[in-house]
Amino acid sequence: MPMNSFLDTEIIDQIIQEEMQAMQIPGLAIAIVSGSEPIYLKGFGKINDAGDKVTEKTAFIIGSSSKSFTAMAIMQMSEAGVLNIDDPVLKYLPEFGSIKDADEVTIRQLLDHTSGFSTYEGMKVFNEKAGGRLSQFIKKLHHFRLSRKPGASFEYSNLNYVLLGAIVEVVSGMSYEAYLVQNIFEPLDMKCTFAEYQKALNYGLEKGYQPVLGLLRQTAYDFHPEIIPAGYIVSCAEDMAKYLIANLNGGCYNNSRILSESAICTLHTKSSKASDHYGLGWFDYDELVHHGGSAENYHANMMLIPSRGLGIAILYNINDNISGAFVKGNFGNGETIVYDRIQSKIVNALTGENTMAPIIDRGKGFHKKTNVIFGMLFALLTLYGCMLLSSSQTYMPLVVIVNLLIPLILLVIIPRLFKASWKPLFQFAAGFAHALFALQLYLILIGVFKIITVF
């Protein structure tokens, strides 16, 4: 049933302010909707180091929450009869044939992440030079491969939604950005939502924040137009409220219908046994439907509780991918990283029930601990280097193994552990990734100096 008309805004304000202070969040904007109405729209904190205030109109990169827009665009085309989501991808993207077993992959499998592409393959997209376009990227598909049989199991991959964005362009004959403007943004009156970087900059998109070895900094990001369908749409809390309302009300917002009720239900419902809890652009946990998103220095989360007619979107101008990798949220409750404890607490306050169990750990002290570990490692390597370089008797094969072979292997293995290559690690885990990389180079440098002194 819809939320009670009474809303204790002071409690929500208090939750947000306390958690922002505890987790050092510089700024966020929140939208809460009940039924077909926004009941709470507000900004907190600052946009930038100049101290400009966040409002409900402030622009944020919404990360992988963008995938729900791409899925909606594909479903619109399906309803229009111009494609079938069970068609092979190859039917629309001939370049896809350069990938082995590509003829077995369907559009549905891209939508529900059962295509066979891995998370690692999805992060390889960030290796491309920033500023390219979808049509240019599609010509490079021979660089990618499937890691498993299509349809066999779920693995989240950005590459799936990059390909879906390309299908939107091919089928519509329009750019991805133009299609979304005409078919989603304008019908929903989303005036500060963009799928084009320059328009977002012109509107006022700022650099977000990252903890760089624990120090909060505004950091730059490489904007990849080809990744917009998977994770770089820009929006504001006011517009996200309209989007949530359309999703809660069977595809309707005011007098605009952008999708049928049955199609909205398909988007929100687990797609297949193999897709785990993933629908089409949304995670389905029965009473809760959600999708989070993280860019280098922005985070977003949106959630729907259809049985209560409740929707929440929170946009943050900070992201901490490293503590997020080690401090996990309760994913079934819509938490993807530690910041999302805010929405869980708000849901409990709104419903008057302890329906959500927010994660306990706020990640406090994480960076301090890692900095101590890095400091100790560099000190030990310095001590080891001094002993090795001053030693008159050295077993050279051991130097080759310890100072060259092992660090070179680690330079390959470490990115694989984080399911990414070094380039996106430097972007998404600034400081932490650089320190890991520097440790290996330091060890190699010691070995090279020793070999030079011997020969």
d(CA 174, CA 349): 44
What stretch of H or E contains 217?
Answer: strand 215-218
Tell me the two tokens of residue 72: 């909606």
Number of domains the chain is built from: 2
Between the two ends of the chain, the Cα-to-Cα distance in Å is: 80
Give pLDDT, residue 155.
94
Per-residue model confidence (pLDDT) at position 12: 95
**Are 413 and 281 in the same domain?**
no
- Say whether both 85 and 173 belong to one domain: yes
Euclidean distance between CA atoms 433 and 439, whole angstroms = 10
Is 264:272 a contact under the CB 8 Å cutoff?
no
Distances from the Cα of 424 to the Cαs of 138, 166, 430, 445, in angstroms?
20, 22, 9, 24
Same domain, 4 and 136: yes
Q: Is the dihedral of CA 185, 189, 194, 198 positive or negative?
A: positive
Of 428, 396, 345, nearest to 12 by C-alpha is 345
For position 131, what pLDDT does the model report? 62
CA dihedral sign of residues 65, 70, 74, 75: positive
Q: Which of 362, 379, 408 is the last residue of a domain?
A: 362
Residues 412 and 435 reside in one and the same domain: yes
Q: Are residues 357 and 386 part of one domain? A: no
How many Å apart are CA 65 and CA 299, to the nearest integer?
9
- Each of the 455 residues of the chain gets a pLDDT tens digit; together they read 344 445 789 999 999 999 999 889 999 999 999 999 999 999 999 999 999 999 999 999 999 999 999 999 999 999 999 999 999 999 999 988 888 888 899 999 999 999 999 999 988 888 776 666 777 788 888 888 999 999 999 999 999 999 999 999 999 999 999 999 999 999 999 999 999 999 999 999 999 999 998 889 998 877 778 889 999 999 999 999 999 999 999 999 998 999 999 999 999 999 988 988 999 999 999 889 999 999 999 999 999 999 999 999 999 999 988 776 666 667 767 777 888 889 999 998 988 887 777 776 666 677 888 889 999 999 999 999 999 888 877 788 898 999 999 999 999 999 988 888 898 888 888 889 999 999 999 999 999 988 888 77
Contacts of 202 (CB under 8 A, 6+ apart): none
Do residues 124 and 214 both lie within one domain?
yes
Say yes or no: 198 and 339 in one domain: yes
Phi and psi, residue 51, nearest 5°:
90, 10
Give me the CATH number covering residue 329: 3.40.710.10
Query: What's the pLDDT score for residue 3?
Result: 44
- pTM score, two decimals? 0.92
Domain hosting 399: range is: 366-454
> Does 382 share its domain with 398?
yes
Q: CA-based diameter of the chain, in Å?
A: 84
Quick check: 224 and 185 in contact, CB under 8 A? no
Indicate if 358 and 373 belong to the same structural domain.
Answer: no
